[in-house]
Amino acid sequence: MFRKLYIMSAIKSTPSIAVPAKKSRRLQQKSGCKEEETLETTLAPVVTAKTRGTQIPIGLGHTPFPFNEKVSLKAIREQKKLEVKMAPNAKDNSVKVGEEHQADLPDFNPSLECDGQDREEVMWRPSPKTFDDHESYQAAYFLPIWYQFKGQIPFDVALQNLMHHDYDIGKALETVDGKLSTLPQKFKDLAKVQMRKFREIYETRTKQGVRMEIPTRKLQEKAMRNYHIAEVQGFYHRFENRALEGSSCTCPVLAHPEVVPRWACGNCTKHLKPTTTEDQCLICLNYKAVTGTTRPANNPVFTDEELQKILNWKKVEEQAERPVSKEEFEQIQKQSKIDRLLRNELTEEERLIVEPGQLPHKKKNLTGAQMQENGWNLVEQLEECPLGLSVFRQCNCDARDHVIENAMSIEIRKAVKRKSVDEEKQVQNSNAAKKPRRVLKRL
């Protein structure tokens, strides 16, 4: 009995987090403050809805989304119930009507409202020099940009850059990497555990076997916590498009040479690190193929990740006092990450990715062998699982019309046509069944 009374008194004495304890009027008169002032000063901060990252960060860095699962819609709804609404202090709340109570608005001045500047941005204007060799422009300009930057520089931005340089492919290739500083950050490949979870959610089906439409918020919460919701939406469409590739067109893929990363390009990194390698990225290779000269690369723009790799590579070569190949450097970087994970050391972003429930040992105080076993599990979970880029094909399908269109749309039209024909036949058969029989009249 005493224990029950003690618990009840403790509950009553504990103040609410959202609503402060009210003071009696006698205590308020002694302290010299009003009830409204006390509530305003002691009210706890209201829980607000956390953004899901509708805007991807712009620039050369990589900012993971700080997913906070503690802030939920349920907590926000509960907080709304506990809010204290104070009565207005105005004495007269009646609406005033008449000429004396009209708002005083300044006269309209068109010069202040409209500055005459064109707010639209031209992305592409056809060249006055007519050229019909679009395939050469695609092979020498856009495809190298697409594969080298892994889709980070889209087609319209690449065309705008070409237009700004008077349709000169050489000048456009020299400066195209400067667009990285004004575009959304580079998309980071999903980890193995994230890709597995994403596929499971994506393949969720109803009892009838139809694939369900999964909300983007659920994909972010369950599989892609460290990604902004705008990145989740873009990845969802890329994943869906990759699943449909090859189903409508089986023409050969446009060939391209092996892609050397820009941090390993001997020409792009010549001002940051002494190098003896002759490997070059697709931008430098196509610049030389178009102009006949080596790309200057006087002020190349790198992402923060690429720049860090260049500096780490330089440091490894200085410590080894010899040139280190790209493959050897990548192996050193990989082993350094494995050693860190075997010590169970995770970054803030990696903590959002891993699933602690899959670890073999979940206790706090682990032995060295148990930590190492957990570490190898972390290595497997955090292994990168790239999706790959959409491929370009030299389409020569016999089924396409004179105008350029997707072969999938033709198949859809054929299916719709077959369906309409079948429906017409069903209607005809039903009408024939309902047709009244002829009755012979007796003479």
Q: Exposed, middle or buried by CB within 10 Å (0-12, 13-18, 19+), for 434?
A: exposed
Nearest-angstrom CA–CA distance, 354 and 346:
9
Confidence band, pLDDT 50/70/90 cuts, at residue 272: very high
- State residue 104's pLDDT score: 82
- What is the token pair recorded at 354? 């891993």
Nearest-angstrom CA–CA distance, 58 and 185:
5
Model pTM? 0.68
Instruction: Please tell me whether residue 283 adopts helix, strand or coil conformation.
Output: helix
Confidence band, pLDDT 50/70/90 cuts, at residue 292: very high
Q: Identify which of 279, 362, 358, 355 has the alpha carbon closest to the alpha carbon of residue 313.
A: 279
Q: How many CB atoms lie within 10 A of CB 318?
A: 12
Query: Is residue 247 predicted with pLDDT exceeding 70?
Result: no
Q: Identify which of 238, 231, 239 has the alpha carbon closest to the alpha carbon of residue 52.
A: 231
Which residue type is seen at 313?
W
Nearest-angstrom CA–CA distance, 227 and 187:
9
Query: Is residue 119 predicted with pLDDT exceeding 80?
Result: no
Nearest-angstrom CA–CA distance, 284 and 140:
11
pLDDT tens per residue, range 196-246: 999 999 999 988 888 888 899 999 999 999 999 999 999 999 998 887 776
Which residues touch 375 (CB under 8 Å, ≥6 apart)?
Answer: 338, 341, 342, 343, 344
Confidence band, pLDDT 50/70/90 cuts, at residue 27: low
Of 74-78, 156-160, 258-262, 335-339, where does mean pLDDT reach its minimum?
Answer: 74-78
Cβ–Cβ < 8 Å for 124, 131: no
Q: What is the DSSP letter of 142?
A: I
Of 42-51, 183-192, 202-211, where does mean pLDDT reach its minimum?
Answer: 42-51
Q: 90-94, 352-356, 424-428: which has the highest mean pLDDT?
A: 352-356
Q: Which parts of 262-364 fold into alpha helices (H)?
A: 282-291, 304-320, 326-342, 348-353
Which residues touch 286 (CB under 8 Å, ≥6 apart)?
Answer: 140, 141, 144, 173
Average pLDDT score over residue span 270-287: 89
Using only C-alpha atoms, the chain has a radius of gyration, in whole angstroms, of 33
Query: Is residue 50 predicted with pLDDT exceeding 50?
Result: yes
Nearest-angstrom CA–CA distance, 272 and 301:
12
Cβ–Cβ < 8 Å for 145, 158: yes
Nearest-angstrom CA–CA distance, 229 and 236:
10
Inter-helix orientation angle 368-381/192-202, to 10°: 50
The mean predicted confidence, pLDDT, of the chain is 77
Which residues touch 79 (CB under 8 Å, ≥6 apart)?
Answer: 18, 46, 47
Between 292 and 405, residue with greater pLDDT: 292
Of 49-58, 110-119, 169-178, where does mean pLDDT reach its minimum?
Answer: 110-119
Nearest-angstrom CA–CA distance, 335 and 138:
39
Dihedral of alpha carbons 227, 229, 231, 236, sign: positive
- State residue 44's pLDDT score: 43
Partners of residue 184 on adjacent β-strands: 58
- State residue 135's pLDDT score: 76
